[in-house]
Amino acid sequence: MQIVTTAIRVHPFHKYGGAEIYIYNLAKYLVKNGIDVKIITSTPKPKVESTVYDGIKYEFVPPHVTTDTKRSVISYHLFNFNLARKLCKEDFDILHSFGMTAHNYLKKCKKIGKVIVEPFGLYGTHEVKQNFAKKCLRKLLIEKPLEYCVKNADAIAVEGNIQAKEISEKFEVSEDKFIYIPDGVEIEFIEESIKKSEVSKEDLGIGDADIVLVNVNRLVKNKGVIYLIDALGILNKCLDVRLILIGSGPEENRIKMRLKELGIEQKVLHFRNIPDEKKFQLISLADISVTPTLFEGLPIVILEAMACGKPVIASNVTEVPQVVNHGVNGFLVPPRDPEAIAKAVLEIYKNDLIEKMGRESKKIARNYDWDIIAKMAIRKYEELMEKNNTATI
């Protein structure tokens, strides 16, 4: 079976977040299970034409798709134009495309294999406040091409049933068209990283804290970190609560200003651009993981915290309830609600639930080991190809 995966950005060649890591890990574990995988993505900086990394074949198509939102849509469409020309010459059984990268191919080329589209958050535009002109441009340049992709693809990949329902309603496509490939987590690597750790709470100067929280995220608005900062201010009125904040992004200055306003700068340890091994070691030192995201699919950071044996407090949005069982391995809270976050932290602390909920998190996380997810994806690919063969007969 030959799989071609397309995306505008992929780990480790571009600045990345959860989506880029998901694409890379899915490909890596497909290769480990004997599948021939090629990723075609935008030209990175510094420029590379093709390479092999972790057994995955990478090919790069111009231009470089910038992370600057004002220019990224234009570079995205230029990439799609060049990508379609390349895909027309490729031989594959399955094209697993992310975002709207299949758009030009579906419109202009005769399909060779089956096409799977994975929207990965692009449909969640209802959460973004925009003026009329920006809404019109977004509809024209993102939503209409994405709609064409989901309506003309052979299948739509999602991380769970809630996403399927939302996309089905938004684009008026049958739910029979969806296939389920959730996010995954590298259990073995996480456990090995934690075993190697030589850092303690005392080394970080947080050994005397009543509670240590951790948040891992790109610091952008939709991750809702500012609401966690406000919750930290509430909690520190009655307890000594510290936060290990891991990530970087355009919200950094806003977060720093809010910490200063609340007078709690000293309560936060901020780590930027650290290797995964150190990230997991820091998560392991915390008591509770908090993910106050406003909208997205199934955040990998939640699964990673669970694999580290942490209770999780997270926003009750999209696929989060798939892994956060309210009252069992953590608590679900409304988005944009610092008081609810603070209340959930106190509930775990005062009822001595940290270890109990942490054990439950580990149990659930084991079902999302990447090897299990890759085998699930392979079965879905095979079923899609068999459906094609049956229709031909």
- List the domain boundaries for the chain: 2-184+370-392, 187-367
The DSSP code sequence of 48-87 is: -SEEEETTEEEEEESS---S-HHHHHHHHHHHHHHHHHHH
- β-bridge mates for residue 4, sequence order: 38, 95
What DSSP character marks residue 141? Answer: I
The pair of three-digit structure tokens given for residue 379, joined into one six-digit string: 């079965």
Record the tokens describing residue 282, joined without a space.
Answer: 């820091």
- CB–CB of 357/330 below 8 Å? yes
How many residues would you count in the chain?
393
Per-residue pLDDT of the chain (393 residues; tens, 9 = 90+): 999 999 999 999 987 678 899 999 999 999 999 999 999 999 998 888 899 999 999 999 999 987 766 678 899 999 999 999 999 999 999 999 999 999 999 998 877 789 999 997 665 544 455 677 777 887 888 899 999 999 999 999 999 988 899 899 989 999 889 999 999 999 999 999 999 999 999 999 999 999 999 999 999 999 999 999 999 999 999 999 999 999 999 999 999 999 999 999 999 999 998 999 999 999 999 999 999 999 888 899 999 999 999 999 999 998 999 999 999 999 999 999 999 999 999 999 999 999 999 999 999 999 999 999 999 999 999 999 987 565 544
Scanning the structure block, which residue is given the tokens 């031909």?
A: 392
Domains 2-184+370-392 and 187-367 share a fold: yes
What pLDDT shows up at residue 122?
A: 62
CATH of 187-367, one of 3.90.1150.10, 3.40.50.2000, 3.30.360.10, 3.40.50.1360: 3.40.50.2000
pTM of the model: 0.90
Tell me, what DSSP letter sits at residue 369? B
CATH code assigned to 2-184+370-392:
3.40.50.2000
Type of residue found at 243:
L
| pLDDT (0 to 100) of residue 393 | 45
Report d(CA 27, CA 36) in Å as an integer.
Answer: 9
Residue 319 CA to residue 163 CA, distance in Å, equals 7
Radius of gyration of the chain (CA): 21
Q: Which two tokens stand for residue 78?
A: 């230029």
Taking the C-alpha atoms of residue 41 and residue 183, their distance in angstroms, rounded to an integer, is 20
DSSP H or E run through 135 = helix 132-138
